[in-house]
Amino acid sequence: MAERLQKVLARAGHGSRRQIEAWIRDGKITVNGKLAELGISVSATDIIKIDGRSVSTAAGPDEVARTLIYHKPSGELTTRRDEAGRPTVFDHLPRIARGRWISVGRLDFNTSGLLLVTTDGELAHRLMHPSWEVEREYAVRVLGEVGDEVLQRLQEGVMLDDGLAAFASIVDAGGAGANHWYHVILREGKNREVRRLWESQGLQVSRLIRIRYGPVSLPRSLRAGRFKDLEPAELRALYELVKLDAPVRQARPAPRGTGTRGTRRR
């Protein structure tokens, strides 16, 4: 059965529909050796290339996307490859036969916690897009004295190099001595935004953990460097949040020994 090119590629995990449409306009995609045009439909027998490289579109209409929680430890990059050979989150995700893993946003090298990864490009795009204002919650340990006026400024808005930023909420989570914990919520994903907001007030973040993304929270039982498939209720809530139809079921996890639920791939 023929389907729109951008729908087929997004479902197979190659990007969001909007991103794929941009690639089509830029002449980066060919179908059977000819430049693709917006609106073109393709079938399983067509040869599709992005930037000259053949891509798999094996995920058909009945294929089910898979979405995981990965507990990222500090000291890993949220990138597919690193020229310096440093470890990446993709080193520890299960192997999949079709499509590819897409990280929903990034966590910097020294930040740990919840990272959503999915094979559904459209889901990833919507969850990251600022227009959906998906909440990200972090536990942050701050070194230094934090007065009420600082907390007020951080919630009213601070001008950073790339525009105005603010926490949607700040909750005191306790602590002793020079270090104090707060739970903060953002509704956008600027680069290193949590750290830069605190640093704008002359304060140093000594530890940063993402504990929630939208309706999905980091399970207490999931150790750093491990992953698990979302529960059905979590999956439905995630898709409903960005007005997408949730898959009836998750794709089946890999067999034991090749990256099973809750384990670390070696």
**Same structural domain, 84 and 126:** yes
Q: Which of 26, 108, 161, 245 is catalytic?
A: 108
User: Looking at the domain assignment, is residue 250 inside a domain?
Assistant: no
Q: What is the CATH number of the domain that holds 160?
A: 3.30.2350.10
User: Looking at the domain assignment, is residue 253 inside a domain?
Assistant: no
Q: Tens digit of pLDDT for each residue in 103-120?
A: 999 999 999 999 999 988
**Same structural domain, 94 and 191:** no
Q: Given this model, what pLDDT does residue 58 score? A: 56
User: Looking at the domain assignment, is residue 262 inside a domain?
Assistant: no
**Same structural domain, 36 and 151:** no
Give how many domains the chain has, as a whole number.
Answer: 3
Q: What is the CATH number of the domain that holds 74?
A: 3.30.70.580
Q: Identify whether 51 is a catalytic site residue.
A: no
Q: Given this model, what pLDDT does residue 249 score? A: 62
Q: Which of 6, 46, 2 is nearest to 28 (CA)?
A: 6
**Same structural domain, 33 and 163:** no
User: Looking at the domain assignment, is residue 263 inside a domain?
Assistant: no
Distance CA 92, CA 246 (A): 26
Q: Given this model, what pLDDT does residue 63 score? A: 58
- The answer to whether 186 touches 135, Cβ cutoff 8 Å, is yes
Whole domain around residue 43: which residue ranges?
A: 3-54
- In this prediction the pTM is 0.78
User: Looking at the domain assignment, is residue 175 inside a domain?
Assistant: yes
Residues of the chain with pLDDT under 70: 1, 56-63, 248-266
Q: Given this model, what pLDDT does residue 261 score? A: 44
**Same structural domain, 123 and 161:** no
Q: Given this model, what pLDDT does residue 144 score? A: 84
**Same structural domain, 207 and 140:** yes
**Same structural domain, 202 and 142:** yes
Q: Given this model, what pLDDT does residue 27 score? A: 95
**Same structural domain, 80 and 149:** no
Q: What is the CATH number of the domain that holds 27?
A: 3.10.290.10
